Amino acid sequence: MRRRADPCRSALVHPRPAVAVHQDVVRRAVDEICANPSIEVGGKFVGYVSGELVPNARDWRRQFRRTTISIVGYLDVGPRAHRSAVRHLSDTDYQFALFQRLLAEFPALEFVGIWHSHHPNGLSQLSCGDVDTGLRTVNSPGHDLPFLLSSLAVDSSGLMSGRHYAF
């Protein structure tokens, strides 16, 4: 019997860009996970993208592999976030306002992705809800980049032992 492809995974891009995560981001994520052992935590990645990546180009896979994403920070979830052991919803109005303030000081800064943890529930991959969120975000008219990075921390080691996906 042939196995069917998982519809939640079919939206994910397999060619991988180079991803550099600043040590402060890694440390901050670990601190957040350790401080909240029973709820999912996360945030929105901000950083810089280098390399030419033209949406819908015939050679987009090659272009994407030659892209470097430098994550220099993340926006915390905000005061109206909803989080539990199986759910993570950020306060997007707060994060948008915070990002706009950062853009005033760093105009080349990009919203490059999202991260969250599954450390309290043991899931080692993105859920279907996570995939839906990634697809909605990357296809949103307000999203400037032709991709969205989505990182999943699965234990108290944080982002470095987790998985990174691209939409």
The 8-class DSSP code of residue 42 comes to E
In the predicted structure, residue 61 carries a pLDDT above the cut 90:
no
Residue 141's CB: how many other CB atoms inside 10 A? 5
Percent of residues, the chain, with pLDDT higher than 70: 91
**How many Å apart are CA 151 and CA 76, to the nearest integer?**
15
How many beta carbons lie within 10 A of that of residue 3, not counting itself?
5
- What distance in Å separates the CA atoms of residue 41 and residue 120, rounded to the nearest whole number? 10
Classify 54 as helix, strand or coil.
coil
Tell me which of 38-47, 97-106, 120-129 is least confident.
120-129
Q: Indicate the average pLDDT of the chain.
A: 89
**Whether pLDDT at 84 is above 70:** yes
Strand ordering across the sheet containing 68-75: 18-21, 68-75, 42-50, 110-117, 149-153, 163-166
124 pLDDT more than 50: yes
